[in-house]
Amino acid sequence: MSLWGFLRGQFVTLPVPDEDCSGRTIIVTGANVGLGLEAARHFVRLGATKVIIACRRIDSGEKARQDIEESTHRQGVVEVWQLDLSSSASVREFAARVDKLDRVDVLLNNASLLTFQKQTVEGHELHLLVNVIYTFLLSILVLPSLRRTAAKFNVTPHLTTVSSDGAFLAMFPEAKADHIFQALDANPSVMHRYSVTKLLQLMVMKRLGEAVDASGKGHVLVNAMTPGLCRTELYRNWPFPFNLALKAFNILMARSAEMGSRTLVAAAVAGEETHAKWMSDCRLYVWPSSMKGEEGEKVTSKVWEELVNILEDVEPCVKDII
């Protein structure tokens, strides 16, 4: 990805989603604000039967629900469910609730963390925990529900993760460590951690898509996408004076949250050509250089294997589910 290509792409007018989502149940994490909120609004507008806003704070989720209902004039479609991606107990409880649904067509992993303060929660650095470890714990725990939907309704459910162009910028010396996640947890600096977690998301998504097919337990379309640079609340924790510089840059270059959300919807209804791949501007995208070639494949496999082992310690059924 060239800088010129990225900047030029920021001014592309993306197609307005027009997929008929009638009958579908769609889960969007982090949907109380920004990209997730606008994606949820699109799904409601497109006729989805149930759209679940998964967020940490119920009160903010309720505000989002009311906003969507007022703008779409559709009542009783949006539900607000509590989900804290820094808590394994919360992820388990959420997945157990999902398991009771009759149908799940899309799990859209939109929630992410960006901060410059290092925090350790449940034994892991918080970016790693939220953006990678528990995002994919949730994804795997919801797989049985997605597979049941595929078999019962003869459809192709989607498991979609919102990544970032930041994956191309990731400074990832820990890739050479004997234990990558341990090395990341031990690093006192989280300055580049967001970009690294976005790269890790792509690595895990690719291997998860391959593993889902290899298991023979039922096909689910696994993909990812980047929304480009968007004016959202993701950057609200940036310190002064970086926040002012980013605000000015966003005014000039960033997409609106609604425009960016079109990329989320596009991936969540995309065709088989996107399985185990990722998208930008509503079409297939190239891999970061750190994922290419023999060395890139080796690191990708190592990240996947380490993550599965971490998840097995949290939830011993993970390997069996996949």
Would you place residue 191 in the very low, low, confident or very high pLDDT band (cuts 50, 70, 90)? confident
pLDDT: is 152 or 11 the higher one? 152
Of the residues 50, 198, 206, 277, only one is catalytic, namely 198
- As a whole number, mean pLDDT of residues 177-195 equals 94
- As a whole number, mean pLDDT of residues 149-177 equals 96
pLDDT at 2 over 90: no
DSSP letter string, 20-78: --BT-EEEEETTTSHHHHHHHHHHHHTTBSEEEEEES-HHHHHHHHHHHHHHH---S-E
224 and 205 Cβ atoms separated by less than 8 Å: yes
CATH entry, 19-321, from 3.40.50.720, 1.10.10.10, 3.40.50.2000, 3.50.50.60: 3.40.50.720
Considering only CA atoms, give the Rg of the chain. 18
Q: pLDDT by residue (tens digit) across 39-59?
A: 999 999 999 999 999 999 999
pLDDT at 5 over 60: no
Average pLDDT, the chain: 92
Would you place residue 9 in the very low, low, confident or very high pLDDT band (cuts 50, 70, 90)? low
pLDDT of amino acid 116: 84
pLDDT at 230 over 90: no
- As a whole number, mean pLDDT of residues 111-116 equals 91
pLDDT at 238 over 90: no
**194 among known catalytic residues:** yes
pLDDT at 247 over 80: no
- Residue ranges of domains in the chain: 19-321
pLDDT of amino acid 12: 78
- As a whole number, mean pLDDT of residues 289-312 equals 98
pLDDT of amino acid 198: 98
- As a whole number, mean pLDDT of residues 276-286 equals 96
Strand positions, DSSP E, the chain: 25-29, 50-55, 78-82, 106-109, 120-121, 124-125, 158-162, 221-226, 277-280, 283-284
Of the residues 88, 194, 277, 285, only one is catalytic, namely 194
Which of 214-223, 240-249, 267-276 bottoms out in mean pLDDT, i.e. has the lowest? 240-249
- As a whole number, mean pLDDT of residues 125-130 equals 98
Q: pLDDT by residue (tens digit) across 71-107?
A: 999 999 999 999 999 999 999 999 999 999 999 999 9
pLDDT at 242 over 60: no
- As a whole number, mean pLDDT of residues 23-41 equals 97
Would you place residue 228 in the very low, low, confident or very high pLDDT band (cuts 50, 70, 90)? confident
pLDDT at 235 over 70: no
Beta pairing partners, 58: none
Of the residues 112, 145, 163, 195, only one is catalytic, namely 163
* N-term to C-term CA, the chain: 32
Torsion from C-alpha of 43, 44, 48, 52, nearest 10 degrees: 80
**163 among known catalytic residues:** yes
